[in-house]
Amino acid sequence: MARVVGSPRKRGEVVMMQDLLITTTTMVEGRPVKEYLGIVTGEAILGANIFRDLFASIRDIVGGRSGAYEQELRRARDIALQEMADAARQLGANAVIGVDIDYETIDMGGSNMLMVTVSGTAVRL
């Protein structure tokens, strides 16, 4: 689905999703923007189940990483990026520049939801 070049948490990430270039930078070296098509977004909200919450709480107390939550965050990020890419393709874009990725947790009365939002500018290079 997506091929990531570089670290997904660093400025300058480049992702190729089929025929679409996605980057956190505002330009692509050697490829000038011919047309700005508009802002595109993607969102993903995933529920975390009670067992994962329980084990994550224990891990928080004793230290360490929560592999289950990390996996869910990666899955949510992939869904949000794909949704944004689909929106860009509908506008006729071949790239999305200036992409911002945000992560949030939402407390729904004792139950946690993981939310990832992405936004960027759809362009034709």
Bridge partner residues of 39 (DSSP): 121
pLDDT of residue 1: 35
Main-chain phi, psi angles of 101, to 5 degrees = -115, 125
pLDDT of residue 124: 96
Which residues touch 46 (CB under 8 Å, ≥6 apart)? 72, 75, 76, 79, 113, 114, 115
pTM over 0.75: no
> Average per-residue pLDDT in the chain?
78
Bridge partner residues of 61 (DSSP): none
Neighbours of 121 (CB within 10 A): 18
Neighbours of 8 (CB within 10 A): 13
The pLDDT tens digits for 42-100 are: 999 887 654 455 455 555 555 555 566 677 788 889 999 999 999 999 999 999 999 99
pLDDT of residue 100: 96
Which of residues 6 and 124 earns the better pLDDT score? Answer: 124
